[in-house]
Amino acid sequence: MRDLRVSITDRCNFRCLYCLPETEEAANFYRGKFDPLKNPHPQPALTPIVREWKPKSALLTYEEIERVVRVAVGLGIEKVRLTGGEPLLRRGVPELVARLAAIAGIRDLAMTTNGFQFGPQAAALRTAGLKRVSFSCDSLDATNFKRITGRDGLSAVLAAIPQAKALGFAPVKVNAVVIRGLNDHELEALAEFARAQDISFRFIEFMPLDSGHAWLRDLVIPSREILARLQARFDLRPVVSENKSETAKRWTFADGRGEIGIIAPVTEAFCGHCNRLRLTADGKIRTCLFSLHEHDLKPLLRGTASDADLAARLREIVLGKEDRHHIGEAGFQQPERTMSCIGG
């Protein structure tokens, strides 16, 4: 295990259709796509959800997060990524970044954010020691962006990207979840945006991690289809990575500006070389995005356990890591928690 994803809040100011589909537009989209002939199970109930966020007392403090990360680094973790929910909704994030940046052994300290509140905190995050940032941007059309996210936030995200580059975050990455009938018509435009902006763009297959449990296999655009369309439009050169645990297959544009990557957990699972662990905002370790079981570290952190006790527990958890997820298999169960509550 070399990569630790740390969720610092379960709250989010977006309502993305693939994560928290709690808007009427999201409900209408899924209703329009549901085909009872292909899906014999009852249509998901897409009524508005009354969300109960974790109280502040349930969330790990920055001191507790720092302790878990420090112990994990001592066991071999080298990369740490701060996630949410939306991480920048939590107060004092630069303080946490500074704490983690001071831990010897962390080679890469990054963050994934929707970018909506990045601007005012960007310089402080960079000064504190954040090295990389990834933004979520599923559409370049303002109307479609709002349809997907439930928020009129495209302009903020588009402003955050050059700001991050100017501040020295490198590489700057942008992620898009591709959903058939929603934003797949923008594939080529998003790739061209990556080339024009000279950034890394990741296309991610739609995964069953939404709060409405409305995921449909028919809405997944397979990686081979994404690649075929992009290769028909652009002269792409494959990138050979030395990182065997990398989740994305990558290509550069012929002119050397920017790159695209495809992350295909549904159709081309990479479980065999997964090197990730996830720490949820409320102190649970998850060994897979699709784990049905979590391992609570809070009793150790708030009890009398030593760092050696914590390290022993982490080793024990890692030894029980699943060999694969079971998407597409008979009996697959979607995790109770959504991506927002797990941390990406």
pLDDT tens, residue by residue, 244-281 = 778 889 999 999 999 999 998 888 877 778 898 999 99
Percent of the chain at pLDDT > 90 equals 68
Q: Which residue has the higher pLDDT, 13 or 344?
A: 13
Q: Which residue has the higher pLDDT, 52 or 298?
A: 298
Question: pLDDT band at residue 54, thresholds of 50, 70 and 90?
Answer: confident
The whole-number average pLDDT for the span 235-251 is 88
What is the per-residue pLDDT for 339? 64
What is the per-residue pLDDT for 158? 98
What is the per-residue pLDDT for 44? 55
The whole-number average pLDDT for the span 294-303 is 96
Note whether 169 and 131 are within 8 A (CB). Answer: yes
What is the per-residue pLDDT for 41? 54
The pair of three-digit structure tokens given for residue 49, joined into one six-digit string: 């959800």
Where along the chain do its domains lie?
3-342
pLDDT, tens digit (0-9, with 9 covering 90-100), for 135-193:
999 999 999 999 999 999 999 999 999 999 999 999 999 999 999 999 999 999 999 99
0.75 exceeded by the pTM?
Answer: yes
What is the per-residue pLDDT for 212? 66
pLDDT, tens digit (0-9, with 9 covering 90-100), for 72-127:
999 999 999 999 999 999 999 999 999 999 999 999 999 999 999 999 999 999 99
Percent of the chain at pLDDT > 70 equals 87
Statement: residue 21 has pLDDT above 80: no
- Average pLDDT of every residue of the chain: 89
The domain covering 3-342 belongs, at the CATH homologous superfamily level, to Aldolase class I (3.20.20.70)
Question: pLDDT band at residue 211, thresholds of 50, 70 and 90?
Answer: low
What is the per-residue pLDDT for 74? 98
pLDDT, tens digit (0-9, with 9 covering 90-100), for 315-326:
999 998 887 765
What is the per-residue pLDDT for 186? 98
